[in-house]
Structure 1
Amino acid sequence: MGGIRQHCYAILAQQPKGRFLALDILRGVAIMAMVLVNNPGSWQYVYAPLRHAEWHGWTPTDLIFPAFIVMVGMAMQLSFTAKTTLARSDIIRQGAVRALKLYALGLFLVLFYYNFRDPAYSYLEQKLLTVRWSGVLQRIGIVYFCTLLIVLYTGTRGRIVWALGLCVGYFACMQFMPYSDAQGNRFVGLWEYGNNFAAWLDHQVLGPNHVYFREATPFAFDPEGIFSTLPAISSCLIGVLIAQLLQSSRPLHFKIRILMLAGVVAVWIAELLHPALAINKSLWTPTFVLLSSGYTALLLGATLWLTEIKRYRLWGAPFVVFGVNAILFFMLAGVAARVLAMLPVAGTSLGAWLFSHVFQPLLGNYPGSLAFACVFLLLSYVVMLWCYRRGYLFKV
């Protein structure tokens, strides 16, 4: 136990200067959870809380990505303190470069796959010509740059107006904008799987062969699609506003109370409105913005209370390792997962073989699948700890 405490002390002592501890911890929790749920031993055996909701409604897994988006907004606002001497044009140029890098990294993960087990597999036809244009990193890049422009050209009131306006405008288009399928059937006001205005737009612009849900009818669509990016920007702007609160001269106890109160109210309103305007991650509905931002505020308030008021910090040390290098962790985990899926072993992939010959026989279906994800995460921690101890921070 003493060795673990010393290990945690060493991590916190090495945290790069100028970092916000609570944010690094929460970002580490979010990216760790994202990697955990993305790498089960088998997708057939995943506990319900570790799955996304099938359509309307939510699970804890649905809250991970939007929480990270909120933290992107927080980090943006907090970083402006170090950029006060830069001209606005320079900030925009740097932001555009960062957004393009994030999009390129996301595209790399999409393209980093080859089916070595299928001699008839055509990388050109089955990957390059049907590339999925959207994804987690792609959305982060686009949302980051759009939020940056809003922040640079507006004050607090303007940011609040934009956050509300994007959600209201999104709802209005989804509810009242008519659209038609290939047979000429006209639709309006639907929020169904494969049949809503956002899905229609993805189908028309991105194309049915370049989205995640290609089997959806009448319109193939992407959960990180074009139109749902608008309320995702609102989530990021909420992160900016939270960071502004934390930068204010108010006492920390007051800031924590505001965060907790705002979080409870946001979650309560989202659940109250859910029967009329469903909470839905794939559509990133306004109620989903409220719900996910509310829970993020509650987690942030609790983390601040533990780390700054009670001074309980050691528990957060492992998450800091992930949090300060979140993009690198996501990339390395994504590459490793794809390597496990590509390498052929005994007629199947290495990952599937490890699950069926090691984890499943020892622990059973569901526990074995979760154990596989936990071991994957533990090995990832060893790699990220090595990077952390050597001061290697991957900055996009």
Structure 2
Amino acid sequence: MKRLLSLDVLRGITVCGMILVNNAGGSVSYAPLRHSVWNGLTPCDLVFPFFLFMVGISTYISLRKFDFRSSHEVVKKIFRRTFLIILIGLGIEWFGYACKGEFFPIDTLRIPGVLQRIGLCYGIVSLMVIYIRHKYLPWIAGGLLVVYSILLLVGNGYACDDTNILAVVDRSIFGEAHLYKKSPIDPEGLMATLSAVAHTLIGFLCGKLLLEKIPVSQRVVKLITVAAMMLAVGYILSIWMPLNKRIWSTSFVFVTCGWGSLLLALLMYVIDVKEVNKGWTFFLVFGMNPLFLYVLSEVVAIAFSQWGIRKAIYEGILVVFTDPYFASLIYALLFCSLMCITGYILHRKKIYIKI
């Protein structure tokens, strides 16, 4: 079956977005690059869920080669990749301390994180799909979301304070010193992994739809239909269960998976049906080495911040563009371009770094 270029482009758009969002120049971020303070949905709130959605699709594609059968080789690969992703996430946290001269931050190292959530979701979903019949997966995803919704409703899960069940569970398991410091709710906390796993399962099921042996145009129509259904369900649920990235609410899962499916359908139509496959190089280079470029961006960002490079560049931009918000955007774009150049060099040399 012909490779869908649109998948690589969407993966690249997502990674590029993650890098942009995480790298404001000064103390302020350009408005569209800010997360919602609590309830609500901004453009940058879509970035991480899109990536998790793509993890689900990629899981389908990678395990399809093994016919979704369990074997020593497959299980070993899943565990190896899961632990490597989690360890890299912890390593990035450690690097921030190491740059300050703290090489053993055992008492304060944050344990949850973006890569840690990605690793857990990948590992759990991968084991599910090789041991559980696929016809049960939609029911499992739905069941996880129902259970999680009930836990939020009975556990004060929509309160942005220390009484929130998510905060209570994280403090009891990790200890307050090992959690996110800027909010009482850790945005990558443990309990929210329930809905994040369901989110990844939805991506997996969409991956199954994408690789059906029917014309691409028909797959696009199916994907648009699924997207419309998820968006309708998500926005209706948001009346009672607000859209909230920090707690990864059920409505947030449906809405972000819906928008992700819709964007993917649009890209498939343009790139794979109409064959408008030129002009996507910027995003394609991110999509070919997504995890590596994201990790590199985090490491470089920490180094730039600790060594004063970010401040120097940002102040230089302010000389030309005096608006701090616009200067922050320019810095983020320049930083993203630096990662793009790195990715382009790797792509030209056909170097694709996988875990």
- The answer for the alignment partner of 1:317 in structure 2 is 281
- The answer for the alignment partner of 1:137 in structure 2 is 115
* Counterpart residue identity of residue 215, structure 2: P
* Counterpart residue identity of residue 254, structure 1: Q
SS in 2 for 1:83: coil
**C-alpha distance in 2, partners of 1:189/1:85?**
39
Of residues 211, 217, 222 in structure 1, which corresponds to 2:179? Answer: 211
Distance 1:65 1:264, change over 3 A: same
SS in 1 for 2:284: helix
1:382 aligns with 2:350: no
1:240 aligns with 2:219: no
**C-alpha distance in 1, partners of 2:123/2:109?**
23
RMSD (Å), alpha carbons: 1.9
1:257 aligns with 2:224: no
Cα offset, 1:287, TM superposition = 0.3
- The answer for the alignment partner of 1:272 in structure 2 is 236
Cα offset, 1:379, TM superposition = 1.5
Consecutive unaligned residues in structure 1, runs of 5 or more: 1-16, 177-187, 344-348
Cα offset, 1:87, TM superposition = 4.5
Of residues 48, 61, 64 in structure 2, which corresponds to 1:78? Answer: 61
After TM superposition, the runs of 4+ consecutive aligned structure 1 residues lying more than 3 A away are 17-20, 84-87
**C-alpha distance in 2, partners of 1:208/1:111?**
17
1:105 aligns with 2:88: yes
1:361 aligns with 2:319: yes
- The answer for the alignment partner of 2:169 in structure 1 is 201
- The answer for the alignment partner of 2:20 in structure 1 is 36
1:326 aligns with 2:294: no
1:40-65 deviation per Cα after TM superposition (whole angstroms, max 9, x unaligned): 11132x22221000001110101111
**C-alpha distance in 2, partners of 1:155/1:250?**
23
**C-alpha distance in 2, partners of 1:303/1:109?**
32
1:391 aligns with 2:355: no
Contact 2:122–2:200 (8 Å) recurs in 1: yes
Identity %: 29
SS in 2 for 1:222: coil
TM-score of the pair, normalised by structure 2: 0.94
**C-alpha distance in 1, partners of 2:27/2:5?**
34
Contact 2:12–2:285 (8 Å) recurs in 1: yes
Distance 1:19 1:324, change over 3 A: farther
Mapping of 1:151-162 within 5 angstroms? 151-162=129-140
**C-alpha distance in 1, partners of 2:330/2:139?**
45
* Counterpart residue identity of residue 342, structure 2: V
1:205-245 deviation per Cα after TM superposition (whole angstroms, max 9, x unaligned): 11111111x364xxx43111100011101111111111111
How many pairs align?
Answer: 353
Cα offset, 1:190, TM superposition = 4.3
Distance 1:115 1:93, change over 3 A: closer
